[in-house]
C-alpha cells in the first residue's frame, strides 16, 4: 500500500510541472514582405520607364506629370476663363471614359461604358481616375497614363483588365454639380 501511495505521490508531483513553451518548427523573418516590396518597386520602375518611352516618342502632345504619380495631356482644354471649377469631395460629376493598353489596344472602347454619374470620393472608382477627375474642368477631355498601382493594380477589374496592367484612359467631363448646388436643390 505504501508503495502504491509513493508511486501516486511521485506521479502527482511530476505532473504539476509548469508548462513549457512550444517553439515553431520553422521560423520566418520578414523576408517575404521585403521581397514583395522589392518586386513592387521593380514593377513600378519598369512601368514608369515604359511610360517615359511612350511620352518621348509622342511629339504631338504636351504631357503633364501629376503629383499623384501619373501623366496626362489635354485632348480638349477649356478656354473659358470663367470656367475655373474643379471637382471636390461630395461634388457630382458626369463623365464618359474609355480604357486602352499603353500601346493603344482598346480594352473598353469609347461608348462601350455608359456615361457615369459619380459622387467624388464617396463611391468606388479606381484611384487614378478618381484623382484625374479632380484636375479637370467641365467640357474638358483628357488622356491619362496610369501605372498599374494607379489603375486596377494586382486584382485587375476581374473582367478584361488583368493583373498589374498600366492603362491609357481618355476621359470627357460633361458636368460638375458642386455640393452647395446639391444642398440648394434638395
pLDDT digits (tens, 9 = 90+) for 15-71: 666 677 777 776 666 788 888 899 999 999 999 999 999 999 999 999 999 999 999
Separation between Cα atoms, residue 186 and residue 130, nearest integer Å: 25
Helix, strand or coil, per DSSP, at residue 182: helix
- For 105, counting Cβ atoms within 10 Å of its Cβ (0-12 exposed, 13-18 middle, 19+ buried), the class is exposed
Mean pLDDT of 128-155: 96
- The answer to the question of residue 121 being in a domain is yes
Residue 73 is predicted with a pLDDT of 97
Q: Does residue 148 lie in a domain region? A: yes
φ/ψ of residue 20, rounded to 5:
-100, 145
Is 145 a residue whose pLDDT tops 80? yes
6 dihedral zone (left: phi>0; alpha: psi -120 to 50; beta):
alpha
CATH code assigned at 100: 3.10.50.40
Q: Which residues form the domain of 146? A: 63-185
Which phi and psi (to 5°) does residue 88 adopt? -130, 175
- DSSP string for residues in 44-84: HHHHHHHHHHHHHH--SS--EE-TTS-EEEEEE----TT--
Beta-carbon contacts of residue 141 (< 8 Å; ≥ 6 apart)? 74, 75, 76, 170, 171, 172, 173
DSSP letter assigned to residue 22: P
- pLDDT (0 to 100) of residue 13: 63
- Per-residue H/E/C for 100-135: EECCCCEEECCCCCCCEEEECCCCCCCHHHHHHHCC
All three cell numbers of 121: 470620393
pTM of the model: 0.79
Specify if 152 maps to a domain: yes
pLDDT in tens, 88-131: 999 999 999 999 999 999 999 998 989 999 999 999 999 999 99
Q: Is residue 15 part of a domain?
A: no
Q: Is residue 164 part of a domain?
A: yes
Identify whether 26 is part of a domain: no
Within-domain flag for 106: yes
Given a contact cutoff of 8 angstroms between Cβ atoms, the answer to whether 176 and 139 are in contact is no
183: helix, coil or strand?
helix
Identify whether 35 is part of a domain: no
pLDDT band at 74 (very low <50, low <70, confident <90, very high): very high
Tens of pLDDT, residue by residue over 14-29, are: 666 667 777 777 666 6
**Number of domains composing the chain:** 1
Amino acid at each position: 500500500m505504501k508503495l502504491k501511495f509513493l508511486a501516486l505521490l511521485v506521479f502527482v508531483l511530476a505532473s504539476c510541472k509548469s508548462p513549457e513553451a512550444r517553439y515553431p518548427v520553422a521560423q520566418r523573418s520578414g523576408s517575404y514582405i521585403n521581397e514583395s516590396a522589392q518586386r513592387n518597386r521593380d514593377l513600378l520602375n519598369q512601368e514608369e520607364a515604359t511610360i517615359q518611352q511612350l511620352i518621348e516618342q509622342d511629339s504631338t502632345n504636351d504631357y503633364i506629370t501629376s503629383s499623384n504619380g501619373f501623366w496626362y495631356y489635354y485632348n480638349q482644354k477649356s478656354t473659358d476663363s470663367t470656367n475655373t471649377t474643379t471637382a471636390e469631395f461630395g461634388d457630382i460629376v458626369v463623365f464618359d471614359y474609355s480604357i486602352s493598353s499603353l500601346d493603344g489596344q482598346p480594352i473598353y472602347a469609347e461608348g462601350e461604358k455608359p456615361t457615369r454619374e459619380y459622387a467624388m470620393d464617396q463611391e468606388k472608382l479606381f484611384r487614378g481616375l478618381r484623382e484625374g477627375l479632380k484636375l479637370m474642368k467641365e467640357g474638358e477631355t483628357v488622356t491619362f497614363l496610369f501605372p498599374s498601382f494607379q489603375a486596377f493594380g494586382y486584382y485587375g477589374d476581374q473582367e478584361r483588365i488583368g493583373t498589374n496592367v498600366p492603362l491609357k484612359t481618355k476621359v470627357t467631363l460633361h458636368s460638375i454639380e458642386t455640393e452647395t448646388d446639391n444642398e440648394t436643390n434638395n
